Amino acid sequence: MTILLVIKRFDFGGAENHVCDLANDLCEKGHNVILATGKGRQVEKLNPKIKYIPIKLTDFLIPCHILRLTFLIIRHNVDIIHAHQRLAILNACLAGFITRRKVISTVHGRTRYDLRHALSRRLSNKIIFVSKRILQISNRKYNFDGKSVFIPNGIRSVELLNNNPRPYRICYVSKINKSHFSFLKILINKVLPVLKGKYPQLEFWIIGDGKKITELKNLSEKLNIRTYSNFCKVLGYKSSLLPYYESTSLVMGVGRVALEASAAGVPVLMINSKRMGGMLTKENFKDIKHTNFVDTGASPPCKHSILTAIETFFNDQARLQQEAITLAGKIQKDLSSDLMSNKIISLYRNVIEKN
């Protein structure tokens, strides 16, 4: 098949990492892959056989984008279009309608954002959800009538880390946008000073990039000055996280971050600005894998709940690290990108055959 993947951004984030892995998997399985996306650091990770088409999607140039995508579809005789992120989905749906090609859309976050426009919901032939919970809520709200499919994010095979973690090194990985920055402000101003007082060896690394990174660096610097140390470090974007996970005792995050860290055998505290989940364990994995590693029933985090969770981990590190290593094999088996990409390919074929 000739497959056109469309995504607006291709820099740092869960959707971007997913599309990069999917593109490489599809290419390795012998498919002709075309990727239309903005310029970004993920491009360097693509298989050289993938045809990369730089396109800067904006709300102001939608007619131009549709024409360009239409030209690509016709010129390369594209069999199916697979779009990710709001603007890419809207443009892909309209180009697919014009060229009579089927369109698959993937919802990585909230449906009301990724499929904000009614045309995106109506013209998508199938909609993949990476969270079963979001799928269920969306079906009740929008009545997708058989369009929705649950396929979780997959992980490419990684070797288990020869984990030799620093006992009190925590790694927080995310985009540094408005939402994550608000949460990080709570961590830096209220949580980390208390933890540093109790655990003098504490190190806190923040990996990520975004519009708020300069403000975040300023906050981190002020905390370090206040505590007469250099324990809180904003490391910025890293093309590979595994070297940093190697010496990390705990990773904080959800979604793609939790998937990649846990698959490498690193303990994960499932937490973001809206949900204070607990540690990822073999007991909760069977449910949490269906909700993209977000504890959908949890309350928002607060200073007390964050402190309690981290202190509980520090007091039981050895057992939780061993459990994370045991769990990693199951995660790589149940959520392998090979298995998930095969499911997506099967969906492509089923949709095409309905022509």
Domain boundaries, the chain: 2-154+336-353, 169-334
Residue type, 20: C
- pLDDT tier for residue 348 given thresholds of 50, 70 and 90: very high
- Three-class SS string for 286-351? HHHHHHCCCCCCCCCCCHHHHHHHHHHHHHCHHHHHHHHHHHHHHHHHHCEHHHHHHHHHHHHHHH
Look at phi and psi of residue 210 and say left if phi exceeds 0, alpha if psi is from -120 to 50, else beta. Answer: left
- Please say if the pLDDT value at position 53 is more than 90: yes
Q: How far apart are CA 184 and CA 165, in angstroms?
A: 23
- Report the pLDDT value the prediction gives residue 254, as an integer from 0 to 100: 93
- Report the pLDDT value the prediction gives residue 148, as an integer from 0 to 100: 95
Report whether CATH 3.30.420.60 matches the domain 2-154+336-353.
Answer: no
Cα–Cα nearest to 45, from 248, 328, 238: 238
Cα–Cα nearest to 105, from 74, 130, 80, 126: 126
- Please say if the pLDDT value at position 242 is more than 90: no
The torsion angles phi and psi of 281, rounded to 5 degrees, stand at: -135, 170
Q: How far apart are CA 182 and CA 133, in angstroms?
A: 25
- Report the pLDDT value the prediction gives residue 20, as an integer from 0 to 100: 94
Q: Quick check: 203 and 231 in contact, CB under 8 A?
A: yes
Cα–Cα nearest to 56, from 4, 8, 114: 8
Half-sphere exposure of 37 (CA within 13 A, CB side): 30
- Say what the pTM is: 0.90
Q: Quick check: 163 and 321 in contact, CB under 8 A?
A: yes
The DSSP code sequence of 214-270 is HHHHHHHHHHHHHTTS--EEEEE--S-SHHHHTT-SEEE--HHHHHHHHHTT--EEE
Per-residue pLDDT averaged across 285-313, rounded? 94
Q: How far apart are CA 234 and CA 219, in angstroms?
A: 10
**Among the listed ranges 99-113, 153-167, 189-203, 262-276, which one has the minimum average pLDDT value?**
153-167
Q: How far apart are CA 143 and CA 347, in angstroms?
A: 20
Q: How far apart are CA 108 and CA 17, in angstroms?
A: 11
Look at phi and psi of residue 60 and say left if phi exceeds 0, alpha if psi is from -120 to 50, else beta. Answer: alpha
Q: Which positions ≥6 away from 312 have C-beta within 8 Å? A: none
The torsion angles phi and psi of 258, rounded to 5 degrees, stand at: -65, -40
Residue range 169-334, CATH number: 3.40.50.2000
Indicate the length of the chain as a whole number.
Answer: 355
- Report the pLDDT value the prediction gives residue 205, as an integer from 0 to 100: 97
- pLDDT tier for residue 161 given thresholds of 50, 70 and 90: low
What's the chain's average pLDDT?
A: 93
- Report the pLDDT value the prediction gives residue 355, as an integer from 0 to 100: 64
- Please say if the pLDDT value at position 324 is more than 70: yes
Matching fold, domains 2-154+336-353 and 169-334: yes
In the chain, the percentage of residues whose pLDDT exceeds 70 is 99
Per-residue pLDDT averaged across 139-146, rounded? 88
